[in-house]
Amino acid sequence: MTATIFDPISRRTLLGTGAAAAGLATAGSIVPFRLAIGAQAKVRIGILLPYSGTYAMLGNAITDGLKLRLAEAGGKLGGREVEFVIVDSQMSVPKAPQNTQKLIAKEKVDFLVGPVHSGIAAAMAKIVGRAGNPIMIVPNAGSNAVTGPLCAPNIFRTSFSNWQPAYPGGKVMADDGHKTAVTIAWKYGAGIQMMAAGTSSFEKAGGKVVKDIQVPFPSVEFQANLSEIASLKPDAVFAFFSGGGAVKFVKDYAAAGLKEKIPLYGPGFLTEGVSMAQGAAAEGIKTTLHYADNLDNAANKAFRAGYKKMYGKEANVFSVQGYDTGSLLLIAMDAVKGDSGAKKAMIAAMEKAKIASPRGDISFSAAHNVVQDIYLRKVVKGHQNLMGVVAKQLVDPARGCRLT
């Protein structure tokens, strides 16, 4: 595998792992029609993920998980060498259309993998869905619209919709006996949609959200918000933050003396991949997500061991999402024996895909969103420990999707 990274300022080779040589056709493999006999181009995967700012950890973990899965498969897709073209999204929604166009028209990628941020996902999906090309796999961003009104035959998601992990979380809070709650999240698609989902199940179960606090993205100035929560005295708080922002919020919440008085809940992004950095402030926090560190299945054990060996650190949900993106790419390219021009056949294979993921068994809905179990977890000594399954094989409602 080789990789090229570029941003508006520089363009340089990022890394080269595995076989980076000429990319000659292997005996018996199918040569895409546009290539001379005997020469086989590398499969080009465009990656648009954050490698700077509050979501940098997420972008890196997704990339690492994807590279691990492809390395396990010999570094090839459908018999062809792989080349990554990597762009730092800088979490910029205004730059997303230009970055997407560049990867499609200039870099001529065969697949597009990204992004992390819901606003960028919607901007990308508008372009990629309308063009019908290339196949795009979303390895994180939960924007409900991407597998809702913006769904398209060539767009798949291996991560979650914002509704999926948040909806069961509101009921968990009510089941714990809480009657009132404050919601707090960054004010953009992900935060707004997750808070709406958690609120709806909490209120259906008899609870009442007394205040919805929206924080400008990606601000980490929480003091005024924490003072407001202290004065409102709700039974519980339901929150969405992730990456660097989640570290700061959970630590500030504890430092403000709220941890012992008003329990924190939320979609698992609040502690995922950052609970070691949050330290004692994260201990005991209960969240809902499509992964737990100690899931007892063979795929998870092998994945976690392989990840630790390759990168010297623990895996998290973001690396699982990258890893499963690799599995879906393998399924697509194996189905067409490396002919990345055979889009229809690849899409048909992806629609039927069933993957024994580290998170448990997954498949894809008619809207091309992942169908998966949602778990209740609790932070114990910095680990996301499984407490139970709160939703089995949960299908996103996919409202507004024409594929359903």
Q: Which is nearer to ligand BEZ, 262 or 390 (CB)?
A: 390
Q: Kindly list the distances between the CA atom of residue 395 and the CA atoms of 147, 202, 391, in Å, as whole numbers in the listed order.
A: 11, 19, 10
Burial readout 193-213 (b: 16 or more C-beta within 10 A, e: otherwise)? bbbbbbbbbbeeeebebeebb
**Smallest gap, in angstroms, from Cβ of residue 10 to ligand BEZ?**
26
**Smallest gap, in angstroms, from Cβ of residue 163 to ligand BEZ?**
11
Which stretches within 96-162 are classed as H helix?
A: 96-101, 118-131
> In sequence order, what are the residues at sequence separation of 6 or more whose Cβ sits closer than 8 angstroms to the Cβ of residue 28?
none
Q: Is 330 in the site for ligand BEZ (CB under 6 A)?
A: no
Binding mask of the shown chain, residues 141 to 160, with x at each position contacting ligand BEZ by CB under 6 A: xxx-----------------
What is the rounded CA–CA span in Å between residue 258 and residue 238?
13
Q: Is 343 left (phi over 0), alpha (psi -120 to 50) or beta?
A: alpha
Q: Which is nearer to ligand BEZ, 45 or 270 (CB)?
A: 270
Q: Is 269 in the site for ligand BEZ (CB under 6 A)?
A: yes
Q: Is 116 in the site for ligand BEZ (CB under 6 A)?
A: yes
Q: Is 304 in the site for ligand BEZ (CB under 6 A)?
A: no
Strand, coil or helix: 2: strand
Q: Per CB under 6 A, which region of 135-143, 292-300, 326-334, 378-386 contacts ligand BEZ?
A: 135-143
Near ligand BEZ in 333-352, by CB under 6 A: none
Near ligand BEZ in 167-196, by CB under 6 A: 190
Handedness of CA 252, 253, 254, 258 (dihedral sign): positive
Q: Which is nearer to ligand BEZ, 269 or 307 (CB)?
A: 269
Using the 8-state DSSP alphabet, how is residue 9 labeled? S
Near ligand BEZ in 45-104, by CB under 6 A: 55, 58
Q: Per CB under 6 A, which region of 64-72, 115-123, 174-182, 283-291 contacts ligand BEZ?
A: 115-123
Using the 8-state DSSP alphabet, how is residue 33 labeled? T
Q: Applying CB under 6 A, which residues contact ligand BEZ?
A: 55, 58, 116-118, 141-143, 190, 242, 269
